[in-house]
Amino acid sequence: MSKIAVLNDVMEFANILAAPLKGEGHEMMCEVTSIDFERVMNFKPELIILGLHRRIDAFDRPIENIEADVFGFKPLVDMERYPAISVIPILLFTTGLKEQDIPTTVNYDSFLILPEDAALYFPKVKELIETVKTRRRISENICPNCGSRLTYTAKPENLFCPRCHAGVVIVDAERCLVTEAGEVNSKPCSMKAIRCRKGDTSNQAETRAIGRSDPA
């Protein structure tokens, strides 16, 4: 079965969304604020589900501030700072919201409403998991330019940075070639400069990448 991450502001809501999928045999991860996005990426989910729930005191009026009026919206905003996560399909499962309530500044792939769309939960999860097979995946390497996680499609040696748009081709265990955005020719780079170390955070990886020595 598949790996699925459920992100929310409230653990009880996250568990409600995760339980039926776990019963279907999926491997689940539940994260609540403050969400450790490094841990989420290391889990390598094939789908991210966010539960968005309108607060009771916001039901009888228009939404004035979505972060204040809706449980679960902050993780959706926080994910925008992690470009590598954009390669993973995102399903929003909501109560008390319409899709037009969601700002156009955040990214997601599908929107379901409880209770009206409850019967679509399993089919939509299946559809989005199958979609991920054609999308970019997160690698274990970081960009030598900006420190973001590199992504790939079919071959993990042909990598791409979703933040600075650099291209990285792994030649062997010691060398890679890097093409920065707008460049035609690749430049050699030491693999040790971009390989993720166990336990690295994005900030630590970025510091190592920016401070790397010039390739021999």
In 10 A of CB 194, how many CB atoms?
Answer: 25
Q: Which of 172, 173, 178 lies closest to 159, judged by CA?
A: 178
The two tokens of residue 67 are 């972060």
**Residue ranges making up the domain that contains 180:** 137-210
Residues 53 and 153 occupy one common structural domain:
no
Q: What is the pLDDT of residues 23-75, one digit of tens each?
A: 999 999 998 877 888 888 889 899 999 999 899 988 888 888 888 899 888 88
Range 8-42 burial, b when 16+ CB lie within 10 A, else e: bbeeebbebbbeebeeeebebbbbbeebebbebbb
Residues 147 and 98 occupy one common structural domain:
no
User: Residue 181 has what DSSP assignment?
Assistant: T
In a domain, 10, yes or no: yes
- Strand 175-179, strand 167-170: pairing: antiparallel
Residues 155 and 200 occupy one common structural domain:
yes
The alpha carbon of residue 209 and the mean position of all alpha carbons in its chain are separated, in whole angstroms, by 21
Q: What is the pLDDT of residues 132-164, one digit of tens each?
A: 666 677 788 888 887 777 888 777 889 988 777
In a domain, 103, yes or no: yes
Residues 43 and 56 occupy one common structural domain:
yes
Residues 127 and 108 occupy one common structural domain:
yes
Range 122-145 burial, b when 16+ CB lie within 10 A, else e: eebbeebbeebeeebbbbebbbbb
Residues 10 and 68 occupy one common structural domain:
yes
Residues 128 and 152 occupy one common structural domain:
no
In a domain, 216, yes or no: no
Question: Of 107, 132, 157, which marks where a domain is finished?
Answer: 132
| CA end-to-end span of the chain | 45
pLDDT given at position 199: 55
Q: Which of 66, 68, 70, 72 lies closest to 35, judged by CA?
A: 72
Q: What is the pLDDT of residues 168-192, one digit of tens each?
A: 999 988 889 998 777 777 888 888 7
pLDDT given at position 183: 75
Q: Which of 32, 26, 28 lies closest to 7, judged by CA?
A: 32
Residues 91 and 170 occupy one common structural domain:
no
Asked if pLDDT for residue 211 goes beyond 70, the answer is no
In a domain, 163, yes or no: yes
Residues 17 and 96 occupy one common structural domain:
yes
The alpha carbon of residue 214 and the mean position of all alpha carbons in its chain are separated, in whole angstroms, by 31
Looking at the structure of the chain, the number of domains it has is 2
